[in-house]
Amino acid sequence: MKRLTLILSFLFIYFSAFTQITLEGLVLLEDTNEPGIAVSILEEGTSNGTITEYDGTYKLEVKTLPVNLIFSYTGYISQTLTIEDKSPQEVILKMGDITICEIPMATDSRLLYTANYSKLNLEDLKIDNSVSLVSGMNTVPGIHIHSGALNTNRITIRGIGNRSQFSTAKIRAYLDEIPLTSGVGETTIEDIDMDMLDNIQIIKGPNVSNYGSGLGGSIIMQTQKIKRDFASTNFELGSYGLYRNSNSINIGTDRFTTRANYSFTGQEGYRENSEYKRHNFSLLNQFDYAENSQFNFLVNYIDLKSFIPSSLNEDDYLNEPTKAAFTWNKVKGFEDYTKLNVGASHNYGWNNWVNTTSIFGTFYDAYESRPFNILSENSRVLGARTKFNYNFETFQSVSFLKFGAEYFNEKYNWQTFRTYDGELGEHLSDNEERRSYYNIFAETDLEFVSNLTIELGINVNSTRYELEDFYTLDSIDISGNYKFNAIVSPRMGINYYWDEKGVSFYTQVSHGFNSPSLEETLNPDGTKNPDIQPEKGWNYEVGSRGDVLDRKLKYNASVYYMDVKDLLVAKRIALDQFQGTNAGSTSHFGIELDLKYDYSFGNQNLISPFINYHFANYKFNEFIDGDNDYSGNELTGAIPHKINAGIQVSSKMGLYGNILYQFIDQMPMRDDNSIYSDSYQLMNLKLGYKNVLAQNKLELDIYTGIRNIWDEKYASQILINAGSFGGNAPRYYYPGLPRNFYAGIQLKYYW
């Protein structure tokens, strides 16, 4: 029955949609004869547009021919071309007399040649609904997001982050130039509203020096930079009381743009004690105040309250998945916080130099009611980044030099209180932490042979913690300073670009690390653990990417091996107490393959099937935990096989849709590999109608979707090594949603 449903769903979308016309081409820069990266392409008189990829190519869907396309790029003269047929176009942009600097892309285009990365545009992120980033990001091979609830997510990249208990760790994330990762390496991106984003770039492994050298990699979230004036509103409703409303306005001139967005997301929840409410407000400003200077300002405010159902034991998961964990339901556990991200950056260019300098701050206040205590915390982050780029003209073998530094300082206060069925009791602890680090980085590339590039990079990091214990009613004083030796992380990549075929081959070697959190540096009695060290690893990778078969087939393939030493393990020794230790080493061998084919026929139809596959063979090389030797076991929480497949279609009449299939293999839930989760398969369907009305001034988008069509019972998040206390069964499982529905409408008006 499932197979019949799959076949019928694919056929339904295939025959029910007629497509737009897909235009393709290549943009080159006249002065360097190199590809133009992120060149803006806009259909004249509309909001329909795109930007070029890292190799200068582009694809743009239009409704009719002929059509006028406007090509614009900072520092170059804009061109308007009339396109009369679908033959690929080659566009050469000429240098202008005035240079107005843009803030460079978060990931330098050259770095993308020798690193495995994925870029998700806003349309990719909204491949499902507009509420959560999880579905879109989970289509990327090598990455998996365990999602227990809208506010409970754990991102893993190539097995890094699997052992984090409740949050994302060991992966660095940025919103433009603002770090979203705390001083102890924890990251929260699920509270970022999707409508403020233009794209998300995911760099797998320690492959970019200028954003740190975290073992898991980096997630760079780019906000929208739109020149055209518009106002928009979006309403979305769904199962289990899901409601979302988002409103935006954008006002701009040639030199100044401001964009404001407010959204509310709420859900009653599938499970007991799972109500969710979130308010988001963002303000983006861009000011080109001089010929070679630009100022950007960002404000992002979040107000969230979410009740916590927590994980379930196997019996409740199978028979009563709507339940909340008994202890969490009894106290009506919840988290309630506000967060403010602010950042200001200045970009200045002179001769062959470009400097980008930014200052940023994050202000966070939270209150969390839990069965075992109540946590009150606040954080104040201040920091700065500066990057210098120099483009060489005199040395043919050296293309560019980038260097800079980042400084991060966080003051974190946390207190715990006794709880009386959710009511605040007396103090249990009172602490203040100072968390700081600096990164110094440099990158360059060398081209001794045509189309063959060698890239070199280095990152130097120093991390320091300072802790002051203000609680005096016990005999433990955990005050002290904790500093790790500076860590040097080099990287080298080699890329060969085959112009005639539109194919590149790359190989790279890179070093990364993850520092222990302050809590992991302490023993249970509060004394410093002098033996704890950052975990470090080397990543080795070969791969290829390109567009072949008349640029209809886009592929990305890679094979990698990561060797991680001094593995950090959080050993649970009490209900709310973990002890950190370096327990050995792991090996991460994997294969990633990503394919997408754009097939058009009759000048009216387009169908884009895609499939990606990730194979992961992750092992404990050496892992001794007390009297237990887990060496040779599979890495806990790692998914051996993951498949994403689907078909995307669109229509000249405005119809569009997609159908997505996902397979998740079983994974070990304990270090001794005694228990495995069940594998599962999910199928999602989305259909919509999008068109421009009122003389290209009003854009209408109506959509609806079904998630988990087969009504599969599955665990959307696993709590690895779950403990058993008081004779109760361990609680491993966060149940995923059964079949559910959503529908929405978006109106956007341009003037």
- Checking if the pLDDT of 71 tops 90, the result is no
Q: How far apart are CA 200 and CA 179, in angstroms?
A: 14
Q: What are phi and psi of 155, to 5 degrees?
A: -90, 130
The burial of 650, by beta-carbon neighbours within 10 Å (0-12 exposed, 13-18 middle, 19 or more buried), is given as buried
pTM: 0.83
> And the tokens for 228?
């055209």
- Proportion of the chain in helix, strand, coil states, percent, rounded to 5: 5, 60, 35
Q: How many C-beta atoms surround the C-beta of residue 228 within 10 A?
A: 14
pLDDT at 51: 76
Q: How far apart are CA 625 and CA 623, in angstroms?
A: 6
CA distances from 445 to 104, 264, 284, 305 (A): 17, 45, 33, 47
Q: How far apart are CA 463 and CA 481, in angstroms?
A: 11
Asked if residue 302 lies in contact with residue 339, where contact means CB atoms within 8 angstroms, the answer is yes
**Local structure of 134: helix, strand or coil:** helix
Q: Assign residue 240 a region: left if phi > 0, alpha if psi is -120 to 50, beta otherwise?
A: left
Q: Given pLDDT bands bounded at 50, 70 and 90, which one contains residue 100?
A: very low
Number of H helices and E strands in the chain, helices first, is: 5, 46
Asked if residue 311 lies in contact with residue 731, where contact means CB atoms within 8 angstroms, the answer is yes
Write the pLDDT tens digit of every residue in 475-489: 777 788 878 889 999
**Local structure of 272: helix, strand or coil:** coil
Q: What are phi and psi of 125, to 5 degrees?
A: -65, -30
> And the tokens for 281?
């407000």
Asked if residue 51 lies in contact with residue 697, where contact means CB atoms within 8 angstroms, the answer is no
- Of 383-392, 493-502, 536-545, which range is least confident? 493-502
Nearest Cα residue to 686 out of 13, 82, 8: 13
Q: How far apart are CA 674 and CA 366, in angstroms?
A: 37
The burial of 8, by beta-carbon neighbours within 10 Å (0-12 exposed, 13-18 middle, 19 or more buried), is given as exposed
> And the tokens for 165?
């208990």
* Strand blocks (E) in 271-351: 276-290, 293-307, 312-313, 334-350
Q: How far apart are CA 430 and CA 470, in angstroms?
A: 5
Q: Where in the chain is the domain with CATH 2.40.170.20?
A: 220-750
Q: Given pLDDT bands bounded at 50, 70 and 90, which one contains residue 60?
A: confident
Q: How far apart are CA 655 and CA 686, in angstroms?
A: 11
Asked if residue 177 lies in contact with residue 359, where contact means CB atoms within 8 angstroms, the answer is no
Write the pLDDT tens digit of every residue in 584-642: 889 999 999 999 998 886 656 788 999 999 999 999 998 887 788 899 999 999 999 99
**Local structure of 109: helix, strand or coil:** helix
- Checking if the pLDDT of 526 tops 80, the result is no
Write the pLDDT tens digit of every residue in 255-275: 888 999 999 999 999 999 999
Q: Please give the DSSP secondary-structure letter assigned to residue 63.
A: S
- Checking if the pLDDT of 47 tops 70, the result is no
Q: Where in the chain is the domain with CATH 2.60.40.1120?
A: 20-97
Q: Into which CATH architecture does domain 220-750 fall?
A: Beta Barrel (2.40)
Q: Percentage of the chain surpassing pLDDT 70?
A: 87
Asked if residue 580 lies in contact with residue 524, where contact means CB atoms within 8 angstroms, the answer is no
Q: Please provide the average confidence, as pLDDT, over all residues in the chain.
A: 84
pLDDT at 366: 95
Q: Given pLDDT bands bounded at 50, 70 and 90, which one contains residue 228?
A: low
CA torsion, ordered 232, 235, 236, 241, to nearest 10 deg? 140
> And the tokens for 61?
């869907």
Residues 6+ positions from 528 with CB-CB distance below 8 Å: 480, 482, 521, 522
**Considering the domain 20-97 in this protein, what is its CATH number?**
2.60.40.1120
pLDDT at 34: 67
